[in-house]
Amino acid sequence: MNELFGTLSDGTPVHRWTLERGGVRVRVLSYGGIVQSVEVPEGAGRTVDVVLGFPGLDGYLAHPEPYLGAVIGRYANRIAGGRFSLDDRTYALARNNGPNSLHGGERGFDKRVWDVTPVAHGLRLSRVSPHGEEGFPGRLAVTVTYTLGESGALRIGYEAVTDAPTVVNLTNHTYWNLSGSGHADGHELRLAASRYTPVDTDLIPAGEPADVTGSRFDFRTARKVGTGYDHNFVLDKGPTGAAEEVAELYDPASGRTLTVATTEPGLQLYTADHLSGPFSPGAGIALETQHFPDSPNRPGFPSTVLRPGEVFRSETVYAVSAP
């Protein structure tokens, strides 16, 4: 189902699409590719929304910084100093996070209106990011496909091609609260990651990945998440051709479980300590599957370089199970 959701100040219409399968209902906006809601069965014919979202377009325009539910690109996470070098050329990016570039710059993919085409059990969103957009080189053609599996699992598939060497790191910034309200810091997390990337005061990786053993970053056995996380975890499986399960988030209050499978080598855990406006700090938990922050400046990290003739592909699957 497709309906008008609102209109931007320049007159551009924003539409909302509704997907339903396996008892799950997902609403997606053409603005930012935003996952506005994920409703799961609660019993007696009722549903509960387990992600954070605004009821109208005005909320997203007034509060852009949480990136609620949005597609993030060209480069998810931070690039130190808003600069990187590729093939002996240095590129200056928009600095929108102190000295750094964050989530694609001042007007990343989260603030663009995407073309939307229905596909079997889902939607295909597409846009072309022109050469030089937010300082990134190359004309990048991107598609993001949302589909629902038979049981209602949400699959997000990404593809991109370029006409010049560039860097790409795409993710989705949905915040999960399996209770549907209140705080999510009581959720329990299991994460298949033996290492994480320590960061400096600007949240840029400081040195090499560190062992999680004996630290608050050890989620190899499920435990309460708490607060104070905005860190990349190095997934034990590394980059893979097919999505593999890497995380499980459990809510003792509702009995619901979210599983995350991905092809990506990293996962950014963000406990939303800085949410403001209608949402209080800790109202949701973001589990952003992606490559590592500042990879264009870190030769030892998995590469985010995309060249002409190559195809960037990535897949993540979020599945919520009932108690």
Catalytic residues, by residue number, are 173, 288
Amino acid at 116: V
Q: Rounded distance, CA 257 to CA 269, Å? A: 17
Query: Coil, strand or helix: which one is 196?
Result: strand
Q: Is the peptide bond before 74 cis (omega within 30 degrees of 0)?
A: yes
Is residue 137 within 8 A of residue 131, CB to CB? The reply is yes
Residue with tokens 């600007």: 202
Which of 95, 94, 161 lies closest to 133 in space, CA to CA? Answer: 94
CB atoms within 10 A of CB 166: 25
Is residue 249 within 8 A of residue 188, CB to CB? The reply is yes
